Structure 1
Amino acid sequence: MIKTRNTQKQANAFRDINEQFVVDASFLWILRSISVNQPHYYLNDLAELERRIDANLDGLMCDFSQAWEICLPELELEQAGESFTAAIIAFRSRDVDKIKHVITHAFSNDDTFKGVVSAMAWLPKNLTKEWVERFLYSKDLNHKYLALAVYSSIRKSPGDILQEFFQREDCLSHTKLLIRLLRVVGELKLYTYVNQVQKLAQHDEPEIAFWANWSLVMIGEHKQVIPLLNFIQEESSWQQLGIQTIFKVLPIDQSRQWISQFSQKPDMIRSVIKATGVLGDPHVIPWLIDKMNTFDTAKVAGEAFSLITGIDLDRYELTIEQPEDITIVPNDNSDDDNVDLDEDENLPFPDVSKINHAWLRYRDRYTAGKRYILGIEVAQRNPATIAKLNNALQSVTQRQRASVALTLALLDPQSPYVNVKARSQV
């Protein structure tokens, strides 16, 4: 009995530390999930966050039972970070009951699902491979959806079973499963399924039609960018990816026409600015500089300028302190058009005068009517272009990496579509 009590005391002595490990791992994962989309985070920054996450997770390895006991009430919050940490503990413990618990919990909402998928992609494949394959062949369609999400994240083909998914009415009727199926075809460039995807390109459900057309573009059917134009004129979860894809593929003259049409709609001005940055035609630089004079478009125009030219505003000291704009009152009302624009928060505020002088100095390096990304001329099937873009993929910010990865995937049929949100290899 004395030995038992001493053991219990020792376990309880470390409980506070383990609780902190759980809280910190969950918080750091949330921070990383935000950072992967930020304009001021680099690959090395992500790697540092990942090392901190791993340090906290490793601290929980000493006592799986207590770690799980701490995670259980955290799961009731139904948040992504807590779901990630609990899933790591469950799979590392190899305890079937714990794994089943987190898998059931994954389908509580989109956040919990994201956390569990991230954990399964994060872990060594020897801990998850058997489970992912089991879910892929499960009778439960939600399990199939989960498995496809993991394959999507790690950019690995699930194999010939996808043919069965396209032929089964129950799979085609499961909206989330079907969308993920279409995404996987595009992300992995699975040309085998082009006919099946084409049948869904005019689906009544807008999100399904979007992903079908997007995947067709990714596997080389570039004429499908025209239908994609219908999906970027209103705000949606896929609008930004649509803009990124369309204006990397659509010929420059047609792109200019569409951008000109969109610019007539005041509510699309930010999307138009982003589209010009994606298009990469230096012809638009004077217009972008003009948009830097307006408070609510200054930062996004500066970002587009850097995306085209490769001129880093911070590095070359082309910024000023952000001025206060008395016409905008930040608030938390999501229905209000004046709500804070979080995507701009970490962008530098451009110094219009300095940028104008810099452009006058360097503009001869760029040719109007050609595409550029980060100052690199985008040329089809040019090994030098591809090499430069691959180098940039390792050295630029996360938001720029996303644009470069998509450019590479669209430019070269042999280039994979790199998941820039995946765990780094640094």
Structure 2
Amino acid sequence: MPVAEHPAAMQSGRAPVQLVVQQHVDEAVQLRRVRSVLVRAPHVRLHRLARLDERITAHLDGIGVAGAWGAALSLQTLESAGAAEFFVVTVRAIEDRDTGRLSRLLAAAGALPDGRVGLLSAFGWVEAAALRGLVQPLLDAHDPWWREVGLVACDHHGVDPGGTLIEALADADAGLRQRALRTAGRRGRTDLRAACMASMGDADSVCAFEAARAALLTGDRGASMAVLESIATVGGLHSHEALALVLKAVAPDRGFALLAGFANDRAHARTLVRGAGHLGDPHGIAWLIEQMHDPGLARLAGESFSLITGLDLAFLDLECDPPDALASGPDDDPNNHDVSMDEDDSLPWPDPGKIGVWWQANGHRFPAGQHFFMGEPPSRANCIRVLREGSQRERAAAALHLCLLQPGSPLFPTAAPAWRQQRWLDALAA
């Protein structure tokens, strides 16, 4: 779609405005892709996310200032139909209050998994004022996908979606039921706990998981735990999430018994190492230090050790150089189709010798048989501190601990725009 050059730019001899706007579009898309990685990273803290969000905002504003040109150039990116492209285009449609364009984007995204992700994140990015008059028609729509978008918009901005949420829990569309159950848990809707528990037998496996998670987050400590344990041990799409939840909520002895079920299969070694961190019982520390000698487990074992003790291994010089000839993440081989990022990328390499010495001197501060999280037994004050100061993975764990400590409280959104997170953190600490 050709876009005319700005007359003033042509008369002044400056580079065409189209090139400047195109740069804003390209940078906004690329930075949104970067954000999708950093928001789950083990080394990124809120202040760094804030700097990235400021850059994304600046480029989105640049597209907006360009008006129709910016909208046209951003629409061209949909040839790639990725999450970042849909995010940029949808933000502009919302902020331009272009309901026709937004309706077309809803239709296009509904058929594309990545498109759904990008469009939904755009509704969470914009300020609540930009959504006035746009969300209620979504909640009232006949199309289940439109109602799902309306629920997500309400969840992102802490707004009660009203009767739509209750009706969606029993809808014939599995996708809408999944979203409704997820929303009920995230919003801490204790009044819907019984409805969530009734949905744990849903024929759709994702619905069953979302129902059990919602019931747990809203205060159930019985049937939901049994369902989550089953999901964790059987394996599948949500097994890791289910295990992390259960290990945070069960008594330590029950947690060790659950982990013992994975001990006889080397294929589950990472599950065991990760699970030791989620459980947080110092009884597993000596074993974690042993795993730091294994290059395939070392960094993950270091992360689990830090989740329990709260130590920053890099800051305290408890790390060592990586092994020689280490293969990590995607490479340049065109015949290698595995382009996934290394889960342990950016984690420090722990020095088991130094850490063992530290543990011998300080282990008495961590009595076995109880949960520890970032150096202390989980508490509201500790969780808020980690939400302020921790890495993204640590912050996500803190948000879950906070809900488990206070059933009925909303799940803190660690992927939300940083400025909104800071505002809600200030409210939590007040």
User: TM-score scaled by structure 2?
Assistant: 0.89
1:399 aligns with 2:398: no
Question: 1:132 is matched with which residue: 135, 139, 142?
Answer: 135
AA of the residue aligned to 1:183: R
CA distance in 1: counterparts of 2:169 and 2:56, whole angstroms: 38
CA distance in 1: counterparts of 2:6 and 2:203, whole angstroms: 65
Q: CA deviation at 1:341?
A: 6.2
Unaligned runs of 5+ in 1: 379-384
Query: In structure 2, do the counterparts of structure 1 residues 341 and 162 end up closer, same or farther at CA, with 3 Å as the change threshold?
Result: closer
AA of the residue aligned to 2:18: R
CA distance in 2: counterparts of 1:43 and 1:345, whole angstroms: 18
AA of the residue aligned to 1:270: R
Q: CA deviation at 1:339?
A: 8.7
The Cα offsets for residues 7-53 of structure 1, whole Å up to 9 and x where unpaired, read as 69479820000000000011111111110100110000000000000
Aligned to 1:240: 240
Query: In structure 2, do the counterparts of structure 1 residues 89 and 284 end up closer, same or farther at CA, with 3 Å as the change threshold?
Result: same
Q: CA deviation at 1:325?
A: 5.9
Q: CA deviation at 1:329?
A: 10
Query: In structure 2, do the counterparts of structure 1 residues 234 and 329 end up closer, same or farther at CA, with 3 Å as the change threshold?
Result: farther
Query: In structure 2, do the counterparts of structure 1 residues 68 and 208 end up closer, same or farther at CA, with 3 Å as the change threshold?
Result: same
Question: 1:95 is matched with which residue: 91, 98, 113?
Answer: 98
Q: Is the 8 A contact 1:155 1:187 kept in 2?
A: no
Aligned to 2:293: 293
AA of the residue aligned to 2:371: R
Aligned to 2:370: 370
Query: In structure 2, do the counterparts of structure 1 residues 232 and 160 end up closer, same or farther at CA, with 3 Å as the change threshold?
Result: same
AA of the residue aligned to 2:108: H
Deviates more, 1:71-80 or 1:339-348: 339-348
1:166-315 matches, cutoff 5 A: 166-167=169-170, 171=171, 173-223=172-222, 224-233=224-233, 236-315=236-315
Q: CA deviation at 1:330?
A: 7.1
Question: 2:85 is matched with which residue: 71, 82, 86?
Answer: 82
Q: CA deviation at 1:346?
A: 1.1
AA of the residue aligned to 2:392: Q
Q: CA deviation at 1:148?
A: 1.7
Deviates more, 1:56-65 or 1:362-371: 56-65
Q: CA deviation at 1:366?
A: 0.8
Question: 2:160 is matched with which residue: 152, 157, 161?
Answer: 157
AA of the residue aligned to 1:210: F
Deviates more, 1:395-404 or 1:240-249: 240-249
CA distance in 2: counterparts of 1:295 and 1:340, whole angstroms: 19
Give the SS at the match of 1:394.
Answer: helix
CA distance in 2: counterparts of 1:328 and 1:146, whole angstroms: 37
Unaligned runs of 5+ in 2: 423-430
Q: Is the 8 A contact 2:190 2:408 kept in 1?
A: no
Q: Is the 8 A contact 2:281 2:370 kept in 1?
A: yes
Q: CA deviation at 1:373?
A: 0.3
Query: In structure 2, do the counterparts of structure 1 residues 222 and 34 end up closer, same or farther at CA, with 3 Å as the change threshold?
Result: same
CA distance in 2: counterparts of 1:398 and 1:5, whole angstroms: 42
CA distance in 1: counterparts of 2:277 and 2:330, whole angstroms: 26
Share of identical aligned residues, percent? 28
1:310-389 matches, cutoff 5 A: 310-324=310-324, 342-378=342-378, 385-389=379-383
Q: CA deviation at 1:310?
A: 0.4
CA distance in 1: counterparts of 2:340 and 2:128, whole angstroms: 41
CA distance in 1: counterparts of 2:340 and 2:325, whole angstroms: 12
Q: CA deviation at 1:326?
A: 7.3
1:41 aligns with 2:44: yes
Give the SS at the match of 1:295.
Answer: coil
Q: CA deviation at 1:328?
A: 9.2
Q: CA deviation at 1:316?
A: 0.5
CA RMSD of aligned residues (A): 2.5
